[in-house]
């Protein structure tokens, strides 16, 4: 079988995937994966990735082993980490359309406030019949922008306190990239 020349450690994740594929009884019926969807012994095996002992791979129908690109590997590791923390993972396309209520729930605000944001062109939206829909990618963009504005406001308040001499000591206001 092609792919057996790879180290057995790398094939551990592939072996789990092969057994699950061959069983043809996937418990995953939607884009959601929860900790209960993976057997405890499989979770323990998957956790070996965090120690660098295993790298996830794909196995073709012919048995060839294909290593995952770094971006997919990192995504897979974050999914396994979430499952280790007993969190469910839901994958969604960025162009998934949300109702105004679902979008408001995602952002943690009332539907009325969210609709007001749409009325003031804070977020792009489209109509499906007479109903407004917002793409998931636009919600995430708005959420990040709102977070940056909040952080800038807090930084400004801290800077004002330091400049006024109210703060006991100087606080470095620079943030690492990506926060």
> Of the CATH numbers 1.10.1420, 1.20.120, 1.10.1660, 1.20.950, which one belongs to the domain with range 97-163?
1.10.1660
Question: Does 171 score more than 50 pLDDT?
Answer: yes
Cα torsion 6, 7, 10, 15: sign = positive
- Burial class of 45 by CB neighbour count within 10 A (0 to 12, 13 to 18, 19+): middle
Tell me, what's the pLDDT at 178?
65
Q: Give the model confidence (pLDDT) of 98-108 as tens digits.
A: 999 999 999 99
The whole model's pTM is what?
0.58
* Average pLDDT for 84-95: 82
* Average pLDDT for 85-104: 88
Q: Give the model confidence (pLDDT) of 112-170 as tens digits.
A: 999 999 999 999 999 999 999 999 999 999 999 999 999 999 999 988 888 888 776 66
Cα dist from 106 to 8, 45, 117, 140, whole Å: 42, 33, 14, 9
C-alpha to C-alpha distance for 35 and 108, rounded to whole angstroms: 25
Of 71, 63, 66, 79, the residue nearest 31 (C-alpha): 79
**Phi, psi for residue 6 in degrees, rounded to 5:** -70, 160
The domain ranges of the chain are 11-90, 97-163
């Amino acid at each position: 079988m092609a792919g057996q020349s790879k180290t057995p450690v790398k094939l551990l994740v592939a072996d789990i995937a092969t057994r699950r594929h061959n069983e043809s009884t996937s418990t995953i019926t939607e884009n959601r994966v929860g900790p209960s969807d993976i057997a405890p012994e499989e979770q323990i095996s998957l956790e070996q990735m965090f120690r660098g002992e295993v790298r996830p791979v794909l196995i073709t129908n012919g048995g060839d082993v294909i290593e995952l690109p770094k971006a997919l590997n990192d995504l897979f590791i974050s999914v396994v980490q979430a499952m280790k923390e007993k969190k469910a993972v839901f994958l969604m396309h960025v162009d998934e359309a949300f109702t105004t209520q679902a979008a408001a729930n995602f952002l943690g605000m009332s539907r009325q406030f969210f609709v007001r944001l749409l009325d003031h062109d804070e977020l792009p939206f489209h109509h499906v019949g007479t109903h407004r829909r917002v793409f998931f990618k636009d919600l995430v963009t708005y959420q990040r922008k709102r977070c940056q504005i909040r952080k800038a406001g807090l930084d400004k308040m801290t800077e004002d306190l330091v400049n006024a001499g109210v703060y006991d000591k100087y606080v470095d206001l620079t943030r690492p990239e990506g926060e």
